[in-house]
Structure 1
Amino acid sequence: MAKAYWITTYRAITNPDKVAAYAQLAGPAIAAGGGRFVVRGMPAKTYEAGLNQRTVVIEFDSLAQAIATHDSPGYQEALDALGDGAERDMRLVEGA
């Protein structure tokens, strides 16, 4: 079974306090779902049409595990705390 990667980029952070509240809840919910943070932070360098925006990559043992974590009550609580505090692009990708 292929690993899965949860990739999030932050287009804009409009309320850092809401992002902090989200992070306090999201980290434990993701860890409880078996997620492991691989990347968290700003790009060291961007190329082509890359945007200089915060990027997070989380590894899961399977796509089903990543989906279940996203849909879990704990992570949904984190999303509620984030609310309109950031504009993000989030996707799940299976490993090669």
Structure 2
Amino acid sequence: MKAYWIAHVDIEDAQHYSQYTERAPAAFAEFGARFLARGGRSEAMEGRQTPQRSVVIEFESYDKAVACYHSAAYQEAKRYREEWARAEIVIVEGIAPV
């Protein structure tokens, strides 16, 4: 069953945040991730205010999605994100196609 990272990110300093975006792709590639949405137009219909960036990343399995998050490569990239952006990340398992 596929799984997805769903992330909402508010960037405080775009220049420094770029250090995260330069490093994170290596972790995603290692785990076969595929971006389905990344920072395009969005509008909050319910709940909190619309974040600056919404991202959806697909993985082949829940285990790979979780392993990517905990990988040394992602944790190293995450250090740069944490300093210059606020993020909410949820990993969710998909459902069987109908």
Percent of aligned positions with the same letter in both sequences?
A: 36
User: Which aligned pairs between 1:16-31 and structure 2 lie closer than 5 A?
Assistant: 16-31=14-29
In structure 2, how many angstroms separate the alpha carbons of the residues matched to 1:71 and 1:44? 28
Structure 1 runs of 4+ with >4 Å offset: none
User: Which aligned pairs between 1:1-96 and structure 2 lie closer than 5 A?
Assistant: 2-10=1-9, 12-49=10-47, 51-53=49-51, 54-96=53-95
Unaligned runs of 5+ in 2: none
Q: 1:50 Cα shift?
A: 5.3
Cα deviation 1:40-71 (Å, max 9, x = unaligned): 01434332335322100000010100111111
SS at match of 1:83: helix
Count of residue correspondences: 94
In structure 1, how many angstroms separate the alpha carbons of the residues matched to 2:43 and 2:79? 32
In structure 1, how many angstroms separate the alpha carbons of the residues matched to 2:91 and 2:59? 10
Please tell me the root mean square deviation across aligned C-alpha atoms, in Å.
Answer: 1.5
Structure 2 letter corresponding to 1:60? F
Structure 1 length normalisation: TM-score? Answer: 0.87
Question: Is the Cα contact below 8 Å between 1:39 and 1:57 reproduced in 2?
Answer: yes
Structure 1 letter corresponding to 2:85? A
Question: Is the Cα contact below 8 Å between 1:3 and 1:60 reproduced in 2?
Answer: yes
Question: Is the Cα contact below 8 Å between 2:42 and 2:54 reproduced in 1?
Answer: no
SS at match of 1:30: helix
